[in-house]
Structure 1
Amino acid sequence: MAMELEAIPLPPLDLRPNHVSTKTSVDKGDSEGAPSAAPAGSSHTVNISAPEPIVPEQTRKQVILDHLQFIAACWAIVLAGWNDGSTGPLLPRIQQVYDVSYTIVSLLFVCACVGFVVGALLNVPLSERLGYGKLMALGSAFQAIAYAIDAAALPFPVLCIGYAINGVGMAVLVAQSIGYVAFLKDKARMGILNAVYGLGALVAPLVSTQFAQMNRWSFHYLVSLGLAVICLVLQIVILRFKTFDECMTRIGRPIQQKGPSTDSNLKQIFRIRAVHVLSVFVLIYVGVEVTMGGWIVSYIIDERNGGPSSGYISSGFFGGLMIGRLLLLWVNEKVGEWLVIFIYSLLAIGLELVVWLVPSLIGNAVAISIVGVVLGPFFPIAMNQAARILPAWLLTPAIGWISGLGRRAALCFLSSRVRLRRVRV
C-alpha cells in the first residue's frame, strides 16, 4: 500500500547571532522589553522592533575618524567642566568688585540656569533641523560670545547676560556630546567622556584662583575664550557640519533607525516615563555636585576662615570627581550599578556631615575630595542606563532633555536656595 507523506512546513531558519536578534518595547514609559498591549498606532506606545545590525570591522581611516570625533566630543565636555569649575573661586572677587550680596551674586547661577533650560528645550527640535555637526559648532560659538562679554568686565547685569548665553551654548554641547557617545553604547568611552569633565573642572579653579587675586580678574575669561575658540575650530574641522547619521556612516557605524511614530521627538520623549525618572535623578545629583563645587570656596572662607587659596579646595573636589569616574568603573561592574549608587550615596552623606560638623580646614578639604570620588560615577551610570533603555532615534534629544533641564534646574534651585539659607556652624 502506497503511503503519501505530506510535507510539514518548517519555520524559516534564523542564522543571525543570538545577541543580534532583539526586540524592545517602550509602552507608556516602561522600557523593560515586555510586549506592548496597546493597539498598533497608539499615540502612547513607542516600539523598537528593528534588530541591531552587525557592525563591520572598521578600516584604518574610519578608526582615525572615530577617534577624532570622540576627541571633539571630549573637548566640548572639558569646556563644560572648565566653566563649572571657574565660577566658585571667582565669586568672592565678583562680590567685592561689584559690591553685591550673596543674594545678588547668586543671579549668575540663576541666569546660567535659565540659559541652560532654554538650550535644553531648543536642542530637541534643532537636532532634527540642523543636525549634529552644525549644533556642535553653534554651541561652541555661543560659549565664545559669552566669554568675550564676561572678559570685558562690564556692569553686573551684562555679566549675567553673558552667563545666560553661556548656558544656552553649554546645554547644546553637553546634550549632543553625551548623546553621540551614548549611541555608541561603549561604557569605557562614556566613563572617559565624563572623566574629562572632571579634568576641566579640576584645572579651572587652579587658574581662576590666581586671577581672582589680580587686578585684571576678568582676564580669566580670556583663557576661557581661547578654549571655546579651540572647541569651535575642532567641531568645524572634524565634524564639517555633518548630520549625526553622516558622522556615523563615515566611521563605519550603523545609522540610527527612525521610529514609526509621526509625532515630534519632544512629544515622544514626554511619553516615556524613564526620561522623567532619569531627569529627577540627574536633577538631584548634579544639584549636589555643582552646588558643592561652586559654593565650597565661599563656605570655607566664611565658616573655616580660609584665605584666598581656598579656591584650590574646589580643584580637589573636581579632581576626585574625575578619579571616581575612571577608577571606580570596575567597582560599578562588579557590585552592580543599582546597588553601588546606594553605597556611594551613604558614603557621600557621611562625608558631608564631616564637612558640616568638624571645624577643621584640612579635614574638610580631604572630605570634600573624597565626596568627589564617590559622586563621580553617578552621572555616567545614569547615561549608560539611558542608552540601554531609550529608543535609538530619541537617544540624543532625550539625553539633551535629561542632562540639560535636570542639570541646570538643579543648579538653579539648589545653588541659590542653599546659599540664601546659609547654615552657621
Structure 2
Amino acid sequence: MSIIHEESVRGGSMFRDINADDEDSQPTEIESMCMNCHEDGMTRLLLSKIPFFKEVIVSSFRCDHCHWSNTEIQSAGRIQDQGIRYTVKIRSKPDLDREVVRSDSAITKIPELDFEAPAYTQKGSLSTIEGLLDRAVTALQQDQAVRRADFPDLALQIDEFVNKLQKLKLVEEEFTLIIEDPSGNSFVENPVAPQKDEAMTVTHFTRTVDQDAQLGLYPENELEEEKTENNLEAMRGEVLKFKTNCPECNVPASTNMKLVQIPHFKEVIIMATNCDDCGHRTNEVKSGGATEELGTKITLHVTDASDMSRDLLKSETCGILIPELEFELGMAAVGGKFTTLEGLLTNIKDLIVSKNPFLCGDSSTSDRSEKLQQFGAKIDRIMAGEMDVHIILDDPAGNSYIQNVYAPDPDPELTIEKYTRTYEQNEDLGLNDMKTEGYAETE
C-alpha cells in the first residue's frame, strides 16, 4: 500500500522502465528475516517495466550478519492464455548480453549439450544469457567437494560438463538456447526491436492438461470438484460439536463428531459424548458410507502378540466370533468401535467378566463365576499372543474392517469373504421395506 501511495504522490506510474538514470526509480526497502542465519536482513523491491515486454517485480535480499544474498524476479501480470517458447541462435559474444527474464515455470535447454534445467528448480531471475550459463555452472559445482570424496566418477563427469558450459561463453561455435515457459511470462531481449530478430524465433503454444495443473489452472468443473474435496478435507480436520443429553443422567451435554478416513477402506464418523455432571463417557463409530451390496466376513488368524496393534473397525451391525472359544457376540452388544484388536478384546472381557451383572449379588453362582473367569483368562492369553485363534467379524452391512499390515499386498493371515445377505439379515437392516425408486404411482 505504501508503494502505491508514494507513486500516486509523484503522479507517475507504479511500474517504470528499467533506467539507471531515473532518480524516481528507487527500491522500496523492507526489513525481513534471513533464511540462512535467521537474523534481520533487508529486502529491496523494485516495480519495473521491461521495454517491449511487461511489468515485473524485482526483489533483492541481503543480510549484513552472514552476508548471504539472493535476487529474484516475479511477473506482475497474470498467467498468459498461451505458453511461449524462445529459440535463440547464439552466434557471437554480443548475443550473450541479451537480457533474459526466466520465470519459475520456465524450462531452459541447450540441445547441443543435451542440457535441460527443469521448471521450478530455480527461482525467477532477471539476467543475461551469459548470466544463465554462469548460474547453471554454479548450481552444478555446488557440493562438488562432497561428490569428489564419495562419488569421484560422478564428480569427474560434472567437471567435464561444466567445462563445456564455460566454453560456450567463448562462442567458438554456434549453439542454441531454448526457453520454454507454459505461463507465457518469460522473455528474451530482441536487441533490434521493434524490427524482427533474425537470430530468434518466438512461438506461442497451447498448454497441455499437465502444464495447466502445474500452474494451478483447472477447468470450471474440476474447480467445483476441487472445492468439494477441500470442503471434505476441512471436515476431516475439524471436530464438530453439538448439544445433546447425557444417556445416563439426561443432563445437557455435548457430543463431539469427526470424519476420519481409514486407509485402504472408507470414511467413518467417530462420535464421543462426555457428561460433566455425572462423568459418563461414551464413544461410537458410524459408517460414513451406504450399506454395501454384499455382506462381509473378515477372518483374522491371530498368531502373534503384534496382531493386537492392528486397527479395527466394528460397525454397529457386526457380530464377533471366536471359534476356538466357542464364543459369539451379537451385533448390538458393544456397538460401533474404531479401536485396535487388543482394544476390542478388552471391551469383550469387560462386557463378559468385569461388568457382567450376573457375577454380582445374589444372582452369582460359583460355577458361572468360575467359567467366566476362565473365559477372561483365555482372552488375556490371546492378547499376550499365547493362544492361536481366529477372530471373525461378520457384518451383513459390509462396513467393518481389520487392518491389512501388508497393504497394498495381500495379508496371508487375513481372509475377506463377500456374501449375499439372507432375507432375515435384510429384515434386521431394514432393507426389505426400503423403497428407493418408483415413488410415483400411475393410475
Same fold (TM over 0.5): no
More strand by proportion, 1 or 2?
2
More helix by proportion, 1 or 2?
1
Q: Which has the higher contact order (CA 8 A, sep 6+)?
A: 1
